[in-house]
Structure 1
Amino acid sequence: MLHLYFDPLLYGFVFLGLFTPGPNVIMLTASGARFGFWRTLPHLFGVVVGVGITAGVTAMGVGAAVQASSLLNLILRLGAGGFILWMAWGLWKASGRPRAADGPDAKPLSFRGAVLFQWINPKVWAVAFAASAGYGAGQAAWFEAARLATAFSSLNLIVCLFWTAAGTLLTALLAAPRAWKVFLRIMAVLLGFTALLVFR
Protein backbone atom coordinates (compact mmCIF):
# COMPACT_ATOMS: atom_id res chain seq x y z
CA MET A 1 0.00 0.00 0.00
CA LEU A 2 2.86 2.38 0.82
CA HIS A 3 4.30 2.12 -2.69
CA LEU A 4 0.90 3.18 -4.08
CA TYR A 5 0.77 6.18 -1.74
CA PHE A 6 4.25 7.45 -2.62
CA ASP A 7 4.27 6.71 -6.35
CA PRO A 8 7.45 8.28 -7.85
CA LEU A 9 5.73 8.86 -11.20
CA LEU A 10 2.93 10.81 -9.50
CA TYR A 11 5.42 12.85 -7.49
CA GLY A 12 7.54 13.60 -10.56
CA PHE A 13 4.51 14.76 -12.54
CA VAL A 14 3.15 16.93 -9.72
CA PHE A 15 6.55 18.52 -9.06
CA LEU A 16 7.02 19.52 -12.70
CA GLY A 17 3.44 20.74 -12.91
CA LEU A 18 3.77 22.96 -9.86
CA PHE A 19 7.35 24.14 -10.38
CA THR A 20 6.78 25.65 -13.83
CA PRO A 21 5.56 29.28 -13.85
CA GLY A 22 1.92 29.87 -13.09
CA PRO A 23 -0.04 32.30 -10.91
CA ASN A 24 1.35 30.96 -7.61
CA VAL A 25 4.98 30.97 -8.76
CA ILE A 26 4.74 34.47 -10.19
CA MET A 27 2.90 35.90 -7.18
CA LEU A 28 5.28 34.34 -4.63
CA THR A 29 8.39 35.43 -6.53
CA ALA A 30 7.06 38.98 -6.74
CA SER A 31 5.96 38.95 -3.08
CA GLY A 32 9.35 37.66 -1.93
CA ALA A 33 11.05 40.47 -3.83
CA ARG A 34 8.57 43.12 -2.77
CA PHE A 35 7.92 42.26 0.90
CA GLY A 36 10.73 39.88 1.84
CA PHE A 37 10.83 36.19 2.70
CA TRP A 38 9.42 36.31 6.22
CA ARG A 39 6.48 38.58 5.46
CA THR A 40 5.54 36.32 2.53
CA LEU A 41 5.36 33.15 4.68
CA PRO A 42 1.58 33.38 5.43
CA HIS A 43 0.97 33.64 1.66
CA LEU A 44 3.35 30.73 1.07
CA PHE A 45 1.72 28.42 3.63
CA GLY A 46 -1.72 29.39 2.35
CA VAL A 47 -0.70 28.20 -1.12
CA VAL A 48 0.64 24.92 0.29
CA VAL A 49 -2.56 24.19 2.25
CA GLY A 50 -4.90 25.41 -0.49
CA VAL A 51 -3.22 23.34 -3.21
CA GLY A 52 -3.47 20.22 -1.03
CA ILE A 53 -7.18 20.80 -0.40
CA THR A 54 -7.86 21.42 -4.09
CA ALA A 55 -6.02 18.24 -5.09
CA GLY A 56 -7.86 16.24 -2.43
CA VAL A 57 -11.34 17.36 -3.44
CA THR A 58 -10.47 16.78 -7.09
CA ALA A 59 -9.74 13.13 -6.28
CA MET A 60 -13.07 12.96 -4.40
CA GLY A 61 -14.91 13.95 -7.58
CA VAL A 62 -15.67 17.63 -6.86
CA GLY A 63 -13.62 18.75 -9.85
CA ALA A 64 -15.62 16.53 -12.19
CA ALA A 65 -18.87 17.95 -10.77
CA VAL A 66 -17.68 21.51 -11.43
CA GLN A 67 -16.72 20.57 -14.98
CA ALA A 68 -20.16 19.04 -15.53
CA SER A 69 -22.01 22.29 -14.72
CA SER A 70 -21.51 24.75 -17.58
CA LEU A 71 -22.90 27.71 -15.59
CA LEU A 72 -20.77 27.06 -12.50
CA ASN A 73 -17.78 26.47 -14.73
CA LEU A 74 -18.28 29.81 -16.48
CA ILE A 75 -18.75 31.68 -13.18
CA LEU A 76 -15.55 30.20 -11.76
CA ARG A 77 -13.61 30.96 -14.94
CA LEU A 78 -14.74 34.59 -14.99
CA GLY A 79 -14.00 34.98 -11.28
CA ALA A 80 -10.55 33.43 -11.70
CA GLY A 81 -9.66 35.57 -14.70
CA GLY A 82 -10.88 38.74 -13.01
CA PHE A 83 -9.00 38.07 -9.77
CA ILE A 84 -5.75 37.27 -11.56
CA LEU A 85 -6.02 40.46 -13.64
CA TRP A 86 -6.74 42.47 -10.47
CA MET A 87 -3.59 41.05 -8.84
CA ALA A 88 -1.60 41.82 -12.00
CA TRP A 89 -2.85 45.42 -11.96
CA GLY A 90 -1.71 45.74 -8.34
CA LEU A 91 1.79 44.64 -9.34
CA TRP A 92 1.81 47.00 -12.34
CA LYS A 93 0.98 49.98 -10.10
CA ALA A 94 3.46 49.03 -7.33
CA SER A 95 6.16 51.41 -6.22
CA GLY A 96 9.47 51.64 -8.04
CA ARG A 97 11.41 51.26 -4.77
CA PRO A 98 12.41 47.80 -3.44
CA ARG A 99 10.56 46.83 -0.25
CA ALA A 100 8.73 50.15 -0.41
CA ALA A 101 5.37 50.74 1.15
CA ASP A 102 3.10 51.27 -1.83
CA GLY A 103 0.43 52.73 0.41
CA PRO A 104 -1.36 51.85 3.64
CA ASP A 105 -2.95 48.76 2.08
CA ALA A 106 0.25 47.32 0.57
CA LYS A 107 0.86 43.92 2.15
CA PRO A 108 1.40 40.32 1.06
CA LEU A 109 -1.55 38.08 0.31
CA SER A 110 -2.87 36.60 3.56
CA PHE A 111 -2.90 32.90 4.48
CA ARG A 112 -6.67 32.76 4.03
CA GLY A 113 -6.55 34.66 0.75
CA ALA A 114 -3.91 32.29 -0.62
CA VAL A 115 -5.94 29.21 0.42
CA LEU A 116 -9.09 30.57 -1.23
CA PHE A 117 -7.20 31.61 -4.37
CA GLN A 118 -6.42 27.96 -5.12
CA TRP A 119 -10.11 27.32 -5.74
CA ILE A 120 -9.95 29.60 -8.77
CA ASN A 121 -6.34 28.93 -9.79
CA PRO A 122 -6.63 27.32 -13.25
CA LYS A 123 -3.17 25.80 -13.22
CA VAL A 124 -3.69 23.95 -9.93
CA TRP A 125 -7.01 22.54 -11.14
CA ALA A 126 -5.43 21.44 -14.43
CA VAL A 127 -2.52 19.66 -12.74
CA ALA A 128 -4.86 18.09 -10.15
CA PHE A 129 -7.23 16.82 -12.87
CA ALA A 130 -4.34 15.34 -14.84
CA ALA A 131 -2.76 13.74 -11.76
CA SER A 132 -6.06 12.26 -10.63
CA ALA A 133 -6.87 10.89 -14.08
CA GLY A 134 -3.41 9.73 -15.10
CA TYR A 135 -1.84 8.55 -11.85
CA GLY A 136 -4.71 7.11 -9.85
CA ALA A 137 -4.02 4.01 -7.76
CA GLY A 138 -7.50 2.55 -8.17
CA GLN A 139 -8.20 2.75 -4.44
CA ALA A 140 -11.07 4.15 -2.36
CA ALA A 141 -11.90 7.84 -2.85
CA TRP A 142 -10.62 8.83 0.62
CA PHE A 143 -7.29 7.11 -0.11
CA GLU A 144 -6.95 8.84 -3.48
CA ALA A 145 -7.80 12.20 -1.90
CA ALA A 146 -5.22 11.77 0.87
CA ARG A 147 -2.65 10.54 -1.64
CA LEU A 148 -3.07 13.52 -3.96
CA ALA A 149 -3.30 16.05 -1.11
CA THR A 150 -0.05 14.74 0.39
CA ALA A 151 1.78 14.80 -2.95
CA PHE A 152 0.61 18.31 -3.84
CA SER A 153 1.18 19.92 -0.42
CA SER A 154 4.59 18.35 0.27
CA LEU A 155 6.00 19.11 -3.16
CA ASN A 156 4.43 22.55 -3.29
CA LEU A 157 6.15 23.47 -0.02
CA ILE A 158 9.51 22.90 -1.74
CA VAL A 159 8.39 24.79 -4.85
CA CYS A 160 7.03 27.75 -2.87
CA LEU A 161 10.12 28.03 -0.67
CA PHE A 162 12.34 28.05 -3.75
CA TRP A 163 10.45 30.75 -5.66
CA THR A 164 9.89 32.96 -2.61
CA ALA A 165 13.60 32.77 -1.77
CA ALA A 166 14.47 33.48 -5.40
CA GLY A 167 12.29 36.59 -5.32
CA THR A 168 13.91 37.72 -2.07
CA LEU A 169 17.41 37.32 -3.55
CA LEU A 170 16.40 39.31 -6.62
CA THR A 171 16.03 42.42 -4.48
CA ALA A 172 19.82 42.74 -4.26
CA LEU A 173 20.03 42.81 -8.06
CA LEU A 174 17.26 45.37 -8.41
CA ALA A 175 18.55 48.22 -6.27
CA ALA A 176 17.88 50.86 -8.93
CA PRO A 177 14.25 52.08 -8.89
CA ARG A 178 14.00 51.74 -12.68
CA ALA A 179 15.20 48.11 -12.63
CA TRP A 180 12.75 47.37 -9.81
CA LYS A 181 9.88 48.93 -11.72
CA VAL A 182 10.73 46.94 -14.86
CA PHE A 183 10.86 43.72 -12.83
CA LEU A 184 7.45 44.32 -11.24
CA ARG A 185 5.90 45.20 -14.59
CA ILE A 186 7.32 42.07 -16.21
CA MET A 187 5.85 40.01 -13.37
CA ALA A 188 2.53 41.84 -13.77
CA VAL A 189 2.41 41.05 -17.50
CA LEU A 190 3.31 37.39 -16.90
CA LEU A 191 0.64 37.12 -14.21
CA GLY A 192 -1.89 38.77 -16.53
CA PHE A 193 -1.09 36.25 -19.26
CA THR A 194 -1.85 33.37 -16.88
CA ALA A 195 -5.46 34.61 -16.87
CA LEU A 196 -5.64 33.19 -20.40
CA LEU A 197 -5.23 29.69 -18.91
CA VAL A 198 -8.70 30.09 -17.45
CA PHE A 199 -10.31 29.99 -20.90
CA ARG A 200 -8.25 27.19 -22.48
Structure 2
Amino acid sequence: MNFDPLYAFVFAGLFSPGPNVILLTASGARFGFRRTLPHVLGVAAGVGITSALTGFGVGAVLLSLPALTFALKIIAAAWILWMAWKLFRSTRGPQAEGRDRPFTFIEAVLFQWVNPKIWVIAMAASSGYAIGLTPVQEALRLGTAFSGINLFVCLFWTFAGSLLTALLAEPRLWRAFMSVMALALAASAAMVFL
Protein backbone atom coordinates (compact mmCIF):
# COMPACT_ATOMS: atom_id res chain seq x y z
CA MET A 1 0.00 0.00 0.00
CA ASN A 2 1.42 3.39 -1.02
CA PHE A 3 1.58 6.39 1.29
CA ASP A 4 -0.73 9.19 0.16
CA PRO A 5 1.28 12.48 0.20
CA LEU A 6 -1.97 14.28 1.03
CA TYR A 7 -1.55 13.20 4.66
CA ALA A 8 1.90 14.77 5.05
CA PHE A 9 0.66 17.99 3.43
CA VAL A 10 -2.41 18.17 5.68
CA PHE A 11 -0.39 17.44 8.82
CA ALA A 12 2.19 20.13 8.03
CA GLY A 13 -0.51 22.66 7.21
CA LEU A 14 -2.66 22.01 10.26
CA PHE A 15 0.09 21.55 12.86
CA SER A 16 1.69 24.92 12.17
CA PRO A 17 0.40 27.92 14.18
CA GLY A 18 -2.81 29.52 12.99
CA PRO A 19 -6.11 30.61 14.53
CA ASN A 20 -7.14 27.10 15.67
CA VAL A 21 -3.75 26.28 17.21
CA ILE A 22 -3.67 29.63 19.06
CA LEU A 23 -7.24 29.35 20.32
CA LEU A 24 -6.87 25.72 21.43
CA THR A 25 -3.56 26.29 23.20
CA ALA A 26 -5.00 29.31 25.01
CA SER A 27 -8.21 27.44 25.85
CA GLY A 28 -6.26 24.47 27.21
CA ALA A 29 -4.33 26.87 29.45
CA ARG A 30 -7.42 28.83 30.52
CA PHE A 31 -10.03 26.12 30.94
CA GLY A 32 -8.09 22.85 31.03
CA PHE A 33 -7.97 19.90 28.68
CA ARG A 34 -11.32 18.33 29.53
CA ARG A 35 -13.40 21.53 29.27
CA THR A 36 -11.81 22.30 25.88
CA LEU A 37 -12.76 18.92 24.33
CA PRO A 38 -16.02 20.19 22.72
CA HIS A 39 -13.92 22.91 21.05
CA VAL A 40 -11.42 20.26 19.85
CA LEU A 41 -14.17 18.05 18.41
CA GLY A 42 -15.87 21.03 16.76
CA VAL A 43 -12.64 22.07 15.06
CA ALA A 44 -12.02 18.54 13.77
CA ALA A 45 -15.58 18.27 12.44
CA GLY A 46 -15.62 21.78 10.96
CA VAL A 47 -12.27 21.33 9.22
CA GLY A 48 -13.50 18.03 7.76
CA ILE A 49 -16.69 19.63 6.44
CA THR A 50 -14.85 22.64 4.99
CA SER A 51 -12.24 20.50 3.26
CA ALA A 52 -14.90 18.14 1.90
CA LEU A 53 -16.70 21.10 0.38
CA THR A 54 -13.54 22.08 -1.49
CA GLY A 55 -13.63 18.60 -3.04
CA PHE A 56 -16.98 19.62 -4.52
CA GLY A 57 -15.51 22.86 -5.86
CA VAL A 58 -17.05 25.29 -3.33
CA GLY A 59 -13.70 27.06 -2.93
CA ALA A 60 -13.47 27.65 -6.67
CA VAL A 61 -17.00 29.06 -6.71
CA LEU A 62 -16.16 31.49 -3.89
CA LEU A 63 -13.05 32.67 -5.73
CA SER A 64 -15.14 33.34 -8.85
CA LEU A 65 -17.40 35.75 -6.91
CA PRO A 66 -15.12 38.63 -5.83
CA ALA A 67 -17.80 40.63 -3.98
CA LEU A 68 -18.89 37.63 -1.91
CA THR A 69 -15.26 36.67 -1.28
CA PHE A 70 -14.45 40.20 -0.05
CA ALA A 71 -17.51 40.25 2.23
CA LEU A 72 -16.51 36.89 3.72
CA LYS A 73 -12.97 38.18 4.27
CA ILE A 74 -14.28 41.21 6.17
CA ILE A 75 -16.48 38.99 8.36
CA ALA A 76 -13.60 36.58 8.98
CA ALA A 77 -11.14 39.33 9.94
CA ALA A 78 -13.70 40.99 12.24
CA TRP A 79 -14.50 37.68 13.98
CA ILE A 80 -10.82 36.83 14.48
CA LEU A 81 -10.09 40.33 15.86
CA TRP A 82 -13.08 40.06 18.22
CA MET A 83 -11.78 36.71 19.52
CA ALA A 84 -8.29 38.22 19.93
CA TRP A 85 -9.81 41.06 21.97
CA LYS A 86 -11.64 38.57 24.20
CA LEU A 87 -8.43 36.60 24.65
CA PHE A 88 -6.51 39.77 25.50
CA ARG A 89 -9.11 40.67 28.13
CA SER A 90 -8.61 37.25 29.76
CA THR A 91 -5.18 38.21 31.09
CA ARG A 92 -6.45 38.34 34.69
CA GLY A 93 -5.46 34.77 35.45
CA PRO A 94 -5.95 31.10 34.57
CA GLN A 95 -9.17 30.84 36.55
CA ALA A 96 -11.86 31.97 34.14
CA GLU A 97 -14.67 34.18 35.30
CA GLY A 98 -18.11 32.63 35.69
CA ARG A 99 -19.40 34.06 32.40
CA ASP A 100 -16.26 33.05 30.49
CA ARG A 101 -16.18 29.63 28.82
CA PRO A 102 -14.46 27.71 26.04
CA PHE A 103 -15.93 27.44 22.55
CA THR A 104 -18.86 25.08 22.17
CA PHE A 105 -18.82 22.34 19.55
CA ILE A 106 -21.08 24.36 17.21
CA GLU A 107 -19.06 27.58 17.64
CA ALA A 108 -15.88 25.71 16.73
CA VAL A 109 -17.52 24.12 13.65
CA LEU A 110 -18.83 27.49 12.47
CA PHE A 111 -15.49 29.21 13.00
CA GLN A 112 -13.94 27.00 10.32
CA TRP A 113 -16.12 28.72 7.72
CA VAL A 114 -14.24 31.97 8.31
CA ASN A 115 -10.84 30.49 9.18
CA PRO A 116 -8.62 31.59 6.28
CA LYS A 117 -5.90 29.06 7.01
CA ILE A 118 -8.29 26.11 6.65
CA TRP A 119 -9.66 27.37 3.33
CA VAL A 120 -6.17 27.90 1.92
CA ILE A 121 -4.92 24.46 2.98
CA ALA A 122 -8.11 22.73 1.83
CA MET A 123 -8.10 24.42 -1.58
CA ALA A 124 -4.41 23.63 -2.06
CA ALA A 125 -5.03 20.00 -1.08
CA SER A 126 -8.04 19.61 -3.37
CA SER A 127 -6.19 21.03 -6.36
CA GLY A 128 -2.69 19.70 -5.69
CA TYR A 129 -3.39 16.25 -4.28
CA ALA A 130 -6.47 15.10 -6.18
CA ILE A 131 -6.18 11.53 -7.46
CA GLY A 132 -8.95 11.50 -10.05
CA LEU A 133 -11.83 10.23 -7.92
CA THR A 134 -15.44 11.24 -8.39
CA PRO A 135 -16.36 14.49 -6.59
CA VAL A 136 -18.13 12.57 -3.80
CA GLN A 137 -15.18 10.23 -3.29
CA GLU A 138 -12.72 13.13 -3.39
CA ALA A 139 -14.82 15.07 -0.86
CA LEU A 140 -14.88 12.03 1.46
CA ARG A 141 -11.13 11.53 1.05
CA LEU A 142 -10.38 15.16 1.89
CA GLY A 143 -12.91 15.36 4.72
CA THR A 144 -11.69 12.23 6.50
CA ALA A 145 -8.00 13.12 6.02
CA PHE A 146 -8.46 16.64 7.38
CA SER A 147 -10.76 15.61 10.23
CA GLY A 148 -8.70 12.63 11.38
CA ILE A 149 -5.35 14.38 11.26
CA ASN A 150 -6.71 17.58 12.76
CA LEU A 151 -8.23 15.72 15.71
CA PHE A 152 -4.77 14.60 16.81
CA VAL A 153 -3.26 18.05 16.11
CA CYS A 154 -5.98 19.70 18.20
CA LEU A 155 -5.55 17.23 21.06
CA PHE A 156 -1.79 17.90 21.07
CA TRP A 157 -2.10 21.71 21.21
CA THR A 158 -4.88 21.62 23.80
CA PHE A 159 -2.86 19.28 26.02
CA ALA A 160 0.22 21.49 25.58
CA GLY A 161 -1.84 24.49 26.65
CA SER A 162 -3.18 22.65 29.69
CA LEU A 163 0.39 21.85 30.77
CA LEU A 164 1.27 25.54 30.64
CA THR A 165 -1.21 26.44 33.38
CA ALA A 166 1.14 25.29 36.13
CA LEU A 167 4.08 27.14 34.57
CA LEU A 168 2.06 30.34 34.30
CA ALA A 169 0.85 30.46 37.90
CA GLU A 170 2.45 33.86 38.44
CA PRO A 171 0.04 36.59 37.25
CA ARG A 172 2.76 38.46 35.36
CA LEU A 173 3.67 35.36 33.32
CA TRP A 174 0.00 34.57 32.71
CA ARG A 175 -0.66 38.10 31.41
CA ALA A 176 2.40 37.93 29.14
CA PHE A 177 1.38 34.53 27.72
CA MET A 178 -2.24 35.52 27.07
CA SER A 179 -1.14 38.84 25.56
CA VAL A 180 1.19 37.03 23.15
CA MET A 181 -1.61 34.59 22.23
CA ALA A 182 -4.04 37.47 21.64
CA LEU A 183 -1.53 39.39 19.50
CA ALA A 184 -0.71 36.27 17.47
CA LEU A 185 -4.42 35.69 16.88
CA ALA A 186 -4.95 39.32 15.87
CA ALA A 187 -2.01 39.07 13.46
CA SER A 188 -3.57 35.97 11.90
CA ALA A 189 -6.52 38.16 10.83
CA ALA A 190 -4.20 39.59 8.17
CA MET A 191 -4.02 36.11 6.59
CA VAL A 192 -7.59 36.64 5.45
CA PHE A 193 -6.47 39.18 2.88
CA LEU A 194 -3.50 37.26 1.49
**What is the TM-score normalised by the length of structure 1?**
0.95
Tell me the distance in 2 between the aligned counterparts of 1:95 and 1:194. 19
1:59 matched residue in structure 2? 55
Question: Cα distance, 1:197 vs. partner?
Answer: 0.3
1:139 CA drift (Å): 1.2
Aligned to 1:141: 135
Q: Distance in 2 between matches of 1:79 and 1:179?
A: 32
Task: Give the match for residue 85 of structure 1.
Answer: 81
Match of 1:10 in 2: 6
Q: Cα RMSD over matched residues?
A: 1.0
Whole-Å separation in 2 of the counterparts to 1:126 and 1:138: 20
Structure 1 match to 2:37: 41
Dislocated runs of 4+, deviation >6 Å = none
**What is residue 22 of structure 2 aligned with on the other side?**
26
Q: Find the counterpart in structure 2 of residue 169 from structure 1.
A: 163
Residue type of the partner of 2:132?
G
Q: Distance in 2 between matches of 1:69 and 1:61?
A: 13
Instruction: Check if 1:131 corresponds to 2:128.
Output: no
Structure 2 letter corresponding to 1:152: F
Q: In 1, distance between residues paired with 2:149 and 2:104? A: 21
The 5-angstrom pairing of residues 96-135 of structure 1 reads 96-98=92-94, 100-102=95-97, 104-135=98-129
8 Å contact kept, 2:91–2:179:
no
Q: Cα deviations across residues 27-54 of structure 1 (Å, max 9, x unaligned)?
A: 0000000000000000000000000000
Contact 1:91 1:188 in 2 (8 A): yes
How many pairs does the alignment contain?
194
Tell me the distance in 2 between the aligned counterparts of 1:141 and 1:97.
48
Pick one of 59, 69, 87 that aligns with 1:73.
69
Tell me the percent identity: 55
So what's the TM-score if we normalise by structure 2? Answer: 0.97
